[in-house]
């Protein structure tokens, strides 16, 4: 007669291993398809240096990259250092970025962080998450983008596209963006993070849109879940 108490731990251990293998298999599918579609990837936000990258990422909150680029193309040829924006002052910064959402709040952040960079960091953008996230208007996602695209440090910035797609592809439970970041970092090699997060963003904009696919029609969703028939409801970031 089989002792159930002895077999339970083995059963749960094997179930957990199977779940992890499925996650790993799906992550490999994701990586393969994204590399096929986007063998080379460009940074969507245009910038002149790390400081202007920081400004562009800050401006991109609740705003499209296209809109940010359209605004900054008229700013960065002339204004591209912290002292330039301090000299401009908050009101003039507002006028320069008025076509961007919540421009008054963003102008205040740009002006104040420019002063801090001058006074505390010798006009240089700091190279740590802690210091970046201590700047006005800079959260973890903005800091991650700057660390990744500005300094080449392995990071995995999570935006609404990545949070949505990671759920559709069964790579996270979607509890929150913090959990999504942890799960994706666990599943993908660190060397791939900087390129991969951009690939996912582009894929989410082109093939697995918020109001399209719903986890049942794009190539990655149908490959990962060929038997899924009903639209998948995902948790918002």
Token code pair at residue 192: 């791939």
Residue 3 annotated in active site: no
Residue 108, pLDDT score: 98
3-class DSSP assignment, residue 225: coil
Residue 183 annotated in active site: no
> What is the rounded distance in angstroms from the CA atom of residue 21 to the CA atom of residue 208?
24
Token code pair at residue 49: 């240096």
Could you give the C-alpha distances from 175 to 75, 144, 183, 190, 228, in angstroms and in order?
A: 39, 20, 11, 22, 21
Could you give the C-alpha distances from 142 to 6, 11, 135, in angstroms and in order?
A: 50, 43, 11
3-class DSSP assignment, residue 126: coil
> By the 8 A CB rule, do 46 and 54 touch?
no
Token code pair at residue 37: 């579609």
Residue 7, pLDDT score: 44
Task: For the chain, list the domains and their CATH numbers.
Answer: 50-150 (1.10.340.30), 154-237 (1.10.1670.10)
* Rg value, the chain, Cα: 21
> What is the rounded distance in angstroms from the CA atom of residue 57 to the CA atom of residue 150?
11
Residue 54, pLDDT score: 98
Residue 22, pLDDT score: 84
Query: Which residue of the set 78, 124, 141, 191 is catalytic?
Result: 141
**pLDDT tens per residue, range 152-205:** 999 999 998 999 999 999 999 988 999 999 999 999 999 999 999 999 999 999
> What is the rounded distance in angstroms from the CA atom of residue 207 to the CA atom of residue 213?
8
Residue 15, pLDDT score: 42
Q: How many CB atoms lie within 10 A of CB 33?
A: 18
Query: Which residue of the set 46, 87, 159, 182 is catalytic?
Result: 159
Residue 21, pLDDT score: 45
pTM, 2 dp:
0.87
- The alpha carbon of 217 is separated from its chain's Cα centroid by a whole number of angstroms, namely 23
| Residue listed under structure tokens 């991969």 | 196
> What is the rounded distance in angstroms from the CA atom of residue 69 to the CA atom of residue 82?
19
Flag residues of the chain having pLDDT under 70.
Answer: 1-21
> What is the rounded distance in angstroms from the CA atom of residue 38 to the CA atom of residue 17?
31
């Amino acid at each position: 007669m089989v002792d159930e108490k002895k077999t339970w731990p083995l059963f749960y251990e094997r179930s957990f291993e199977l779940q992890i293998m499925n996650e790993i298999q799906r992550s490999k599918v994701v990586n393969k398809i994204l590399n096929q579609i986007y063998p080379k990837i460009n940074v969507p936000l245009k910038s002149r240096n790390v400081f202007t990258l920081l400004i562009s990422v800050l401006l991109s909150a609740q705003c499209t990259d296209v809109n940010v680029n359209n605004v900054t193309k008229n700013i960065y040829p002339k204004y591209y250092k912290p002292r330039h924006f301090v000299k401009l002052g908050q009101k003039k910064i507002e006028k320069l970025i008025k076509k961007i959402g919540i421009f008054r709040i963003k102008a205040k952040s740009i002006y104040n962080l420019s002063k801090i960079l001058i006074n505390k960091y010798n006009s240089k953008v700091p190279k740590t998450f802690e210091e970046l996230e201590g700047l006005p208007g800079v959260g973890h996602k903005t800091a991650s983008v700057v660390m990744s695209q500005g300094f080449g440090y392995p990071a995995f910035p999570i935006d609404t596209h990545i949070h949505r797609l990671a759920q559709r592809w069964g790579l996270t439970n979607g509890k929150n963006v913090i959990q999504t970041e942890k799960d994706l970092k666990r599943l993908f090699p660190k060397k791939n993070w900087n390129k991969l997060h951009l690939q996912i963003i582009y894929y989410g904009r082109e093939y697995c849109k918020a109001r399209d696919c719903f986890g049942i029609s794009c190539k990655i969703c149908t490959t990962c879940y060929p038997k899924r028939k009903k639209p998948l409801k995902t948790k918002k970031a």
